[in-house]
Amino acid sequence: MPSLLVLGSWFFGTFMGILAFFGYFVGDELKKRNWAWVWGSLFCATLGGALVGFVVLLQDRDFSGEAKFKKLLEEKDAKIIQLEQEKRQLSVNSDTGNLEQKLNEALADNKRLTDAKITADSELAQLKSQVVTFQGKIDEIKKDGTAAAPPRVETARAIKPPQPVDVPAKIIKFQDFPKFRVELDALQLGAKGDVTLFLSYINKTQEELLIGRKLDTDSFPGRSKIFLVDSAGNRYEFERSSGMDDIHYRDNRPLTIGPGMRATASFQFRSREPRETVGKTFSFSSEQVVVKKPIDTNGFYRVDSTHNISLRDIDPR
């Protein structure tokens, strides 16, 4: 519509210009040539207005396709921006999905850990009850001075199956002290009525222990306080020992036990006279001391503690 208005205005202006400049000639020619110039002027004005209108149309409308191409580019850019936004949205949704998956996995792991803890607490409670029962048995046996070899405590997750053959437990005679433990190894009867007793000493500390027989200073000459009798009432006289001496002077040799180690000492007794009957079991008693190395000028050992070793109902073997 604007192009038609422009075309009309240019057509009217051209027509009026021709009439203004060529009015005289137009009037004269109209008289002479019967309106020839009128029609010519109208044709020229029409042609000029058409040209001007065509130029205006070319300015207003792009027939070369540039505007259309620009529009396509704008639409393409808008589409790219939209796709980028959708991509970011999908990425956010994907991250949210991964977070949900990780959260579910964490919850599942937490449930497994909770179940494992409940199972472990149950097994621990069973183990504690077994330990309490076993400790009660040990306390009862300590009163008699004997103890069966501790049975193996099996938890709810025992790996090794039970042994098909029942082996009788070995009876171990022992005596416990704060720093060491004494265990009976054997008691042997000799052909001449002599008796030899073998004891093991176990160091329960992380320092070296020195153990020796206590010397009876009230008797003369000084003797160790050590006794052995059998169930028939026969008394046996102490003769000598191996691995442990009376503790008095620097030259005496106590039983030396390293930290956490075991050492063995033997004690030999003899009968003063032939025995018609010999008891089936023996009882042993000895007063012994834990000492420290001498540091004074007199060379005496320093007594740290005194203990009475007493084992009853010993079977010869």
Full DSSP string of 203-234 = E-SSS-EEEEEEEETTSSS-EE-EEEEETTS-
Beta bridge partners of 242: 266
Question: Can you spell out the DSSP letters for 166-215?
Answer: --PPPEEEEEE-SSEEEEEEEEEE-TTS-EEEEEEEEE-SSS-EEEEEEE
Residue 145 lies in a domain: no
Domain check: are 51 and 177 in the same one?
no
pLDDT in tens, 190-214: 888 889 999 999 999 999 999 988 8
CATH number of 272's domain: 2.60.40
Residue 119 lies in a domain: no
Domain check: are 48 and 178 in the same one?
no
Beta carbons of 193 and 205 less than 8 angstroms apart? no
Q: Please state the separation of Cα 14 from the chain's center in Å.
A: 102
Residue 217 lies in a domain: yes
Residue 148 lies in a domain: no
pLDDT in tens, 59-90: 655 545 566 777 888 888 888 898 888 888 88
Residue 165 lies in a domain: no
Report CA-CA distances (Å) from 95 to 83, 91, 106, 196. 18, 6, 16, 84
Domain boundary residue among 33, 61, 89?
A: 61
Domain boundary residue among 61, 76, 95?
A: 61
Residue 237 lies in a domain: yes
Domain boundary residue among 14, 31, 61?
A: 61
Query: What is the residue-level pLDDT of the chain in tens, covering all 317 positions?
Result: 555 656 666 666 676 666 666 666 666 666 666 555 566 666 677 767 667 766 666 665 554 556 677 788 888 888 889 888 888 888 766 666 677 777 788 888 877 888 888 888 888 888 887 888 888 778 777 776 554 455 555 554 544 555 554 544 456 789 999 999 999 999 998 888 889 999 999 999 999 999 988 877 665 455 677 889 998 888 898 888 898 888 766 667 889 999 999 999 999 998 877 777 888 899 999 999 998 876 566 667 788 899 999 999 998 87
Q: How many domains does the chain have?
A: 2
Range of the domain at 200: 171-314
Please classify residue 49 by burial: count the beta carbons closer than 10 Å to its beta carbon, then call 0-12 exposed, 13-18 middle and 19+ buried: buried
pLDDT in tens, 259-295: 999 999 999 998 877 777 888 899 999 999 998 876 5
Residue 141 lies in a domain: no
Check residue 147 and give its pLDDT.
Answer: 46
Residue 293 lies in a domain: yes
